Amino acid sequence: MDVPDHNTINRFRSGRLKGVLKEVFSTIVKFLVTEGLVSLDRVYTDGTKIESSANRYTFVWGKSISTRISKIAEQLNELWAYAESVTKQELMEETPLLAEDISADKVAQVVDRIDEALRDVDCDKKVKQKVKRVKKAWPEQLKRYEQQEQILDGRGSYSKTDPDATFMRMKEDHMLNGQLKPAFNVQISTNEQFISNYTLHATTADTTTYTEHIEEFKPLYGFYPKESICDAGYGSEENYLYARGKGIKTFIKYNYFHKEQTKKWRTDPFRSSNFYYNSTLNCFYCPMGQPMRFIGRRKQYTKTGFEQEIHIYQAIRCQGCPLRSLCHKSKANRRIEVNHRLNKLKAEEKEKLLSPQGLVHRSQRPQDVEATFGNLKNNKNFKRFLCKGKNKVEVEFGLLAIAHNIAKVAS
Ligand code: SF4
C-alpha cells in the first residue's frame, strides 16, 4: 500500500515527461488505429479556453503599457520645451523623443540634459523637483515596461503569476457572464471521440490557431489528415489556402454560412453579395442595372500577417436613383469592396458543405469534438489547469488526453 509522494508525481510530470509525452500520446493513438477504433484520415477540430492556475487579478495589459510610455514621452517633451523656453537656447541638436523610439537609456540622457540646463536658472521650483523625481523613476519604469513587452511577445496581456497565460473572455462564470481570466486556448482534433492531436495557444481566436494545430499533426503521424472538419470559427482565406496546399479536403463553415441559406438573405437585392458579376468586364451590376466599375484595389493584413487583396467597385451615378434610400446611406456613389479569392474559396466550401458527405460531417462534428470537450470539462471536471507555464500545462493536458482515450477504450 505504498503511496507515491506528491513531489514524486510532480517531478515525473514536469521533468521526465517533458518533451516526450507527445510521442507517448501518438504511440497510443497509433495503437488505437491498428485496433480499428480510430481513423487518422478524418479529423474534427475545435477549441476551448481552459483557465490557467494563475491568479485572476494579476494582469499586465499591453495597451496600458503603450499608454504609459506615450504619457512619459509627452511629459518629457513638455519638460524639454519648458527648459528651452527658460534657458532661451536649444538643448540638443536632436529633437526630443517620440513614443515609438523611447528607451530607458535615452530618457535618462534627456532628463540629465534638462536637469543640467535648469540647474543655474531661476525658474519654477516645482518643475525642478519634478525633473529630480523622474530622473530615477522614468528609466526604471521604462526598463520594466521593456521586460513586460518582451514577455507579451505580441499578445494583448499576460498574468504576472503565469506569464505564459493570456487573459481571455471565458464563456461562463457563477454569474453567467463572460469574464476575463488567465487561460490557454486548447485545440483538439478528434475522430470517433478519441483525441488524435492537441495543441495549446495564446490567441483567443480559433482562426489563428488552425495552421499551427494541423502542422503539429504531421510530425506525430508522418502525414496530414485527408479531411478536416471545423466550425465557422476557422473559416478564413488563410486556412482554406493552407489546407488546399497540404492536400487536405476541408469542410469548414464560414461566417454567415447559415444566414446565406435564408430566404431573406438570398432575396435581398441590395446585398452586394447578390449583385451580378461580369468577370469578362470585371464589373458588378447594381439593382438599377447600372454597372459598378472597378476603381482600384488595396491590400490588407490579418492578425497573423496574411495578405488579402480587396477589389473596389463603384456605381457611376446614384444621384436621382429612386432606389437610393433603400440601397445605401453614403453621400457619394455606392462603393463595394470584394475579396474575389475568398469568395471563390467560400463558394467551393459551400458546395462541399451542402453535399451529402458535407451534411454527414456537419452533423457528426458536434457529436465528435464538442462531446469530447463536454466529457473533459463537465464529466471529468477539468476546468482549470493545476500547473503553471506552457510546457507543464501541455504535459498536463497530454496526460488528460491519454486518460480520455484509454477510458474510452475501456468503456
Ligand atoms: S443607389 Fe446607386 S448603386 Fe444603388 S441601385 Fe441606385 S444607382 Fe444602383
pLDDT at 96 over 60: no
Band of residue 177 on the pLDDT scale cut at 50, 70, 90 = low
324: its cell numbers: 437610393
**Closest ligand 1 atom to 321 CA:** 6
Let me know how long the chain is. 411
Distance from C-alpha of 73 to C-alpha of 96, rounded to nearest angstrom: 9
| Sign of CA pseudo-dihedral 9, 14, 15, 19 | positive
Same domain, 246 and 119: no
Same domain, 84 and 230: no
Q: What is the mean pLDDT of residues 127-137?
A: 88
Task: Annotate 31-69 with DSSP letters as a single string.
Answer: HHHHTTS--SSEEEEEEEEEE-SS-TT-EEEHHHHHHHH
381: its cell numbers: 471536471
Spatial CA neighbour of 385 closest among 57, 165, 198? 165
Q: Would you state the pLDDT for residue 97?
A: 61
Residue 198: inside a domain, yes or no? Answer: yes
Same domain, 21 and 138: no
Same domain, 358 and 391: yes
Q: Would you state the pLDDT for residue 228?
A: 97
| Sign of CA pseudo-dihedral 377, 383, 387, 392 | positive
pLDDT at 80 over 60: yes
Q: Would you state the pLDDT for residue 404?
A: 97
Report which protein residue has its CA nearest ligand 1's atom 2.
Answer: 318
Q: Is 311 in the pocket of ligand 1 (CB under 6 A)?
A: no
Q: Would you state the pLDDT for residue 215?
A: 97
Q: Is 312 in the pocket of ligand 1 (CB under 6 A)?
A: no
Same domain, 366 and 235: yes
pLDDT at 171 over 80: no
| Three-state DSSP state, 188 | strand
Which of 131, 158, 185 is a domain's end point? 158
Q: Is 288 in the pocket of ligand 1 (CB under 6 A)?
A: yes
| Sign of CA pseudo-dihedral 394, 395, 396, 402 | positive
Distance from C-alpha of 198 to C-alpha of 376, rounded to nearest angstrom: 13
Distance from C-alpha of 206 to C-alpha of 210, rounded to nearest angstrom: 7
- pLDDT for 358-387, tens place per residue? 999 999 999 999 999 999 999 999 999 999
Residue 313: inside a domain, yes or no? Answer: no
How much distance in Å is there from the Cα of 27 to the middle of ligand 1?
A: 62
Residue 262: inside a domain, yes or no? Answer: no
How much distance in Å is there from the Cα of 323 to the middle of ligand 1?
A: 6
Give the mutation target among 283, 317, 334, 335 for probing the ligand 1 site: most ligand atoms within 8 A of CB.
334
Residue 109: inside a domain, yes or no? Answer: yes
Q: Is 272 in the pocket of ligand 1 (CB under 6 A)?
A: no
Same domain, 178 and 132: no
How much distance in Å is there from the Cα of 328 to the middle of ligand 1?
A: 8
Distance from C-alpha of 77 to C-alpha of 98, rounded to nearest angstrom: 9
Same domain, 100 and 215: no
Q: Going by DSSP bridges, is the β-strand pair 179-191/42-51 parallel, antiparallel, or unpaired?
A: antiparallel
| Three-state DSSP state, 156 | coil
**Closest ligand 1 atom to 333 CA:** 2
Same domain, 243 and 198: yes
Same domain, 353 and 253: yes
Share of the chain above pLDDT 70, in %: 95
pLDDT at 25 over 90: yes
Which of 158, 183, 213 is a domain's end point? 158
Mean pLDDT is lowest, of 88-102, 111-125, 175-189, for 88-102
Q: Is 321 in the pocket of ligand 1 (CB under 6 A)?
A: yes
Tell me if 157 sits within 8 A of 147, measured CB to CB: no
Q: Is 315 in the pocket of ligand 1 (CB under 6 A)?
A: yes
Q: Would you state the pLDDT for residue 293?
A: 95
Q: Which domain holds residue 366?
A: 8-56+172-257+349-410
Same domain, 67 and 121: yes
How much distance in Å is there from the Cα of 164 to the middle of ligand 1?
A: 52
Helix 390-410, helix 21-34: angle, nearest 10: 20
Phi, psi of 356 (to 5 degrees): -55, -40
Radius of gyration, CA atoms only, the chain = 29
Give the mutation target among 270, 284, 286 for probing the ligand 1 site: most ligand atoms within 8 A of CB.
286
| Adjacent-strand bridge partners of 184 | 50
How much distance in Å is there from the Cα of 326 to the middle of ligand 1?
A: 9
CATH of the domain at 20: 3.30.420.10
Residue 329: inside a domain, yes or no? Answer: no
Q: Going by DSSP bridges, is the β-strand pair 227-230/249-252 parallel, antiparallel, or unpaired?
A: parallel
Residue 45: inside a domain, yes or no? Answer: yes
- Residue appearing with cell numbers 485545440: 187
pLDDT at 195 over 80: yes
Give the mutation target among 274, 295, 319, 324 for probing the ligand 1 site: most ligand atoms within 8 A of CB.
324
Residue 118: inside a domain, yes or no? Answer: yes
| Three-state DSSP state, 94 | coil
Q: Would you state the pLDDT for residue 92?
A: 59
- Count CB-CB contacts under 10 A for residue 410: 6
Q: What is the mean pLDDT of residues 336-340?
A: 97
Q: What is the mean pLDDT of residues 324-330?
A: 93
Report which protein residue has its CA nearest ligand 1's atom 7.
Answer: 318
- Count CB-CB contacts under 10 A for residue 221: 15
Report which protein residue has its CA nearest ligand 1's atom 1.
Answer: 324
Same domain, 214 and 144: no
Domain total for the chain?
2
Q: Is 287 in the pocket of ligand 1 (CB under 6 A)?
A: yes
Tell me if 197 sits within 8 A of 219, measured CB to CB: no
Same domain, 148 and 69: yes
- pLDDT for 33-51, tens place per residue? 999 999 999 999 999 999 9
Which of 133, 158, 183 is a domain's end point? 158
**Closest ligand 1 atom to 286 CA:** 8
Band of residue 239 on the pLDDT scale cut at 50, 70, 90 = very high
- Residue appearing with cell numbers 457563477: 174
Residue 282: inside a domain, yes or no? Answer: no
Q: Would you state the pLDDT for residue 119?
A: 82
Q: Would you state the pLDDT for residue 102?
A: 80
- Burial class for 129, CB neighbours closer than 10 Å (0-12, 13-18, 19+): exposed
Q: What is the mean pLDDT of residues 142-147?
A: 93
Give the HSE-up count for residue 47: Cα atoms under 13 Å, Cβ half-sphere. Answer: 25
Q: Is 291 in the pocket of ligand 1 (CB under 6 A)?
A: no
